[in-house]
Structure 1
Amino acid sequence: MSHTTTILAELIKYMTEHDLNISDLARKAKMNPGTVSSLINGNRKFSVYQLDRITEAMGHPVGYYYERYIPECLADASPNWRRMSPFLENCAKLNKLDCIHQVVNMLLDKLGYADPLFQLAEQLFQEKLYEAAAILYENVALSENKQHSERLAICQYRLFQSRQGDDQERSYEAAVQFETYVNRLDEIDQLDALKDLVNTYRTLRKWEKVDKFAIALRNLAEVQMKSERKHQNVDEDILKNQGSPPTFAYWAFSHLLQAEVCYVKKDYEQALKHNYAYSDLSWVKETDESSLRWKHQYETWAKANIYVNKLMSGEVSVIPDYIAYFSSKKEEILPGLDNIIDAANQYTINVDDILMQFEPEILSLLEEQESGGVYNQQFITERLTHFTKQLAVYYLHKNVFSKGFRFLLSCLEKSTAINNKSYILECVKLFESFRENASSETQAAYRNLISEVQVDVHEE
């Protein structure tokens, strides 16, 4: 939509129609009469703060004139950052992303603005205004050159973080794009970046990538631990990252990840070796609260994962002890049940009594899950999708078709929501194998879900 009148012209028209003089308008907008006079007479340009006050006084919502504000007040040969910065902040809060694009495009060929744009992007990122921050990071990255490789890497890291979500295809593309930049980060930041990167690949079940970056994470952690032993005094980098886990936690996490890779490959013996590697952290000498908490956490995880790998290698006798471990830990119930049903399908174990015991928890899990504790939303969503698929396999092969198809349709619905084509394909194959046992209602529900999948694929 194009506008033939300026903001100032509309303001003067408003004053005329409502019989307001400058003092009246100033009082209504809660502004200084001298300032209003300068604006009306064209002696000064609106600041975004002044524009917001005037806009509200005219009865319009804040942001009403923002599209016109850009060419009228910001499009100077020498851009005024003091005027642009608060405008960009307001646009971010109002989700006026097109306005942000327009302003940033005006600065693309002006390298001196890379630093303030980067600082503002960091501020917006901390305020969780990720879409707005991503626009700034993208443009800072375009303007960077080799001597600013660390800042370029930070921009790419933030873009990777902001693009993580339910759409697994988008998450994967963002991870692949970030891979080449992770080594350019400061070594302290690299630990968190590698952890985030490998967590994404773990969620997406890209196990070769998980293995690769788990090794990189452990190598970097070992270098950092050696450096910390040599320099016992707290330095600025450590102070900067007080909120991050201690370095040994990254080392332990790398072993946990490689154990998971071995688990997927059904190499349970090698998985146990990795589990045992981080099960005993008595060599860690730090006694601060964070270190003690992480030591306990990894020792607890190791105990659970040792149960799991023994179970998956065929030691069914560990099931009671494993259930005793996770039944009192709310956030471990989903992974625990998922592992048990996985083993049941692999070794044809009857776990009906266990599923009956945890029926209230299973029904609760089928509702919308929120992240909490040590597991992020991506992990929970993916694990729940895998769990519903395994339940479908279990019940369909036991000829309990009502439950089997219920979980199969649930898995298909969740797979479609997160755009996981691998799970969608598995659901389709499973349904076709048991189609003749599906009721007419089930077949109708299946067709509706499949039509949604086809629409999504067509739109891509």
Structure 2
Amino acid sequence: MEATATIRDQLASYLSEQGMSINQFADRSGINSGTLSRIVKGHQPIAMSHLELITKGIGEVEDHFFSLYVDECFYHSAPTWRRLRPFMIRCAELGRMDCIERMVQILLDNLSNVPTLFDVAEGLFEHGQWKAAAILYENVSASEKYQYSERLAVCQYRLFRIALGDDQSENLRAATLFEPYVPRLDEADQLDALKDLAHVYSSLRRWHKVEELAKELLRIASIQYELQYKLDRKWGMRKQPTRPIYGYILYSYLLQSFVCEENEDYVAALGFVSKYADGSWIKESTNEAKQIVNQFKEWAIANTYLYRIMNGDEGVLDEYVDYISIRDNEVFIALFRIVQAANRYSWNIDYILDRFSSYLSYRRYTTVFGDYNKQLTADQYAQFLTELASYYLCNKNCLGIQAILHSMDFSFKINCESNVIKCVDLFEQYRDKASDEETKQYKNLISEVRDHNEKKRESISSFV
């Protein structure tokens, strides 16, 4: 069957070739014969439900007519969101981004369609159709780029979330592009946006930015928490953040303790620990409030041990290990910091590594605040492998070289250049300990890194 101008033409050709009447095809497809007759004659638009039945009746794959249906929606009948919305959603589900692109370009000739396009994008985003949602957000943003609007800011926030992945350089770019839009968001969204940005900058080790964002998170959350009880009933009419506001206040203290930890100011870090350990000021007494307060108290106990250990107090090491042993989500970060401390103070922790050997592989964790940030966890795991390699090598353990290669490979995959450089320095320092096969693996990884960097330079040059 040759391609013709419209879906109706193709349907008519099919009926002719098969020697089928409208009534016969109506029985096969499940479409009312009168409706089918009006569709073929061009007296009735083709609804999405009709398109699915026609396509199935002809025996083609579901998206066979999708390109023609774009024309049907705009040029062969009056465009209506009653057809466009379900069609866009189905295009997203079947990966037909080409059709979505065409529809969006046509719709934006009339800027009155922008609010509805945004609503459709929000629905797609909520249901995990991020690739399709990104097309809509990008086009809505372009149509409003000269407007100081909250909708533009929300689009940029969604695009930031969509852009985050394993490539740390891309994550930095996404964070840098989005950050100026944060003040335009509703206060509820600002809380989540600041938290998400702090996670990204943590994974990038931009601790001055994390501190800045944590302080802003504390400022806005504190104001909102006070307003919550002043406005009373009116507060329920306002947009709410994804988590209770008191949780963001506690979380801001946790973030600031991380900054102090990275700056090796453990006394200041313990000062912030005391702040998020104290939930006595929280007015809510719900089960959720109790759960969140208890989670922060647990983190406070664990981090009190941790900061004492990082400050050289080996006496609490076994106590800390026993504490985290029954708290699955705490084990990895504990191992990471224990290995760091062992390298710094020349401790022997072989018995701890043996005890938690099953935790040496990469994994994701969940808390009352949702999943641990993927980017931060990946960055910490890359650093952990490098610290582990140093520990093994200093203690004449043959696993050290493999730990370097594992860290180098993992760091390359997340584009963490600083850790790749550390791995190279460490391998060269202990090259004589490597077997021929390990040296070969190392050379192959170096070649991959060089090829990647060369392609990056070529793409930058071509853009310039």
| TM-score (normalizing by structure 1) | 0.92
Distance 1:145 1:35, change over 3 A: same
Give secondary structure in 1 for the equivalent of 2:366: coil
1:394 matched to 2:386? The reply is no
Task: Name the structure 2 match of 1:83.
Answer: 83
Quick one: distance in 2 between partners of 1:78 and 1:141?
A: 26
Q: Residue 245 of structure 1 contacts residue 290 of structure 1 at CA under 8 Å; is this kept in 2? A: no
Task: Name the structure 2 match of 1:431.
Answer: 427
1:39 matched to 2:36? The reply is no
Task: Name the structure 2 match of 1:377.
Answer: 374
Task: Name the structure 1 match of 2:348.
Answer: 350
Shift of 1:327: 0.8
Moved more, 210-219 or 154-163: 154-163
Distance 1:79 1:40, change over 3 A: closer
Quick one: distance in 1 between partners of 2:61 and 2:333?
A: 48
Quick one: distance in 1 between partners of 2:71 and 2:454?
A: 39
Shift of 1:337: 0.5
Give secondary structure in 2 for the equivalent of 1:257: helix
1:130 matched to 2:124? The reply is no
Q: Mind listing any 5+ residue stretches in structure 1 that lack a counterpart?
A: none
Deviations 1:330-356 (A, max 9, x none): 111111101100111112211112112
Q: Which amino acid aligns with 1:425?
A: I
Shift of 1:89: 0.9
1:440 matched to 2:429? The reply is no
Shift of 1:180: 0.7
Identity across the alignment (%): 38
Counterpart mapping for 1:297-316 below 5 A: 297-316=295-314
1:248 to 224, 246, 249: 246
Moved more, 336-345 or 12-21: 12-21
Give secondary structure in 2 for the equivalent of 1:231: helix
Counterpart mapping for 1:249-328 below 5 A: 249-328=247-326
Distance 1:177 1:76, change over 3 A: farther
Q: Residue 392 of structure 2 contacts residue 400 of structure 2 at CA under 8 Å; is this kept in 1? A: yes
Q: Residue 166 of structure 1 contacts residue 417 of structure 1 at CA under 8 Å; is this kept in 2? A: yes
Coordinate RMSD, CA, aligned: 2.2
Q: Residue 26 of structure 1 contacts residue 33 of structure 1 at CA under 8 Å; is this kept in 2? A: yes
Q: Residue 66 of structure 2 contacts residue 99 of structure 2 at CA under 8 Å; is this kept in 1? A: yes
Q: Which amino acid aligns with 2:386?
A: K
Task: Name the structure 2 match of 1:450.
Answer: 446
Shift of 1:147: 6.0
Deviations 1:285-305 (A, max 9, x none): 321112111111111111111
1:58 matched to 2:55? The reply is no
Quick one: distance in 2 between partners of 1:450 and 1:70?
A: 49
Quick one: distance in 2 between partners of 1:406 and 1:51?
A: 57
Q: Residue 329 of structure 2 contacts residue 365 of structure 2 at CA under 8 Å; is this kept in 1? A: no
Quick one: distance in 2 between partners of 1:453 and 1:314?
A: 37
| TM-score (normalizing by structure 2) | 0.91
Aligned residue-pair number:
452
Q: Residue 259 of structure 1 contacts residue 271 of structure 1 at CA under 8 Å; is this kept in 2? A: yes
Q: Residue 73 of structure 2 contacts residue 79 of structure 2 at CA under 8 Å; is this kept in 1? A: no
Task: Name the structure 2 match of 1:329.
Answer: 327
Q: Residue 92 of structure 2 contacts residue 129 of structure 2 at CA under 8 Å; is this kept in 1? A: yes
2:357 to 333, 356, 359: 359
Q: Residue 3 of structure 2 contacts residue 10 of structure 2 at CA under 8 Å; is this kept in 1? A: no
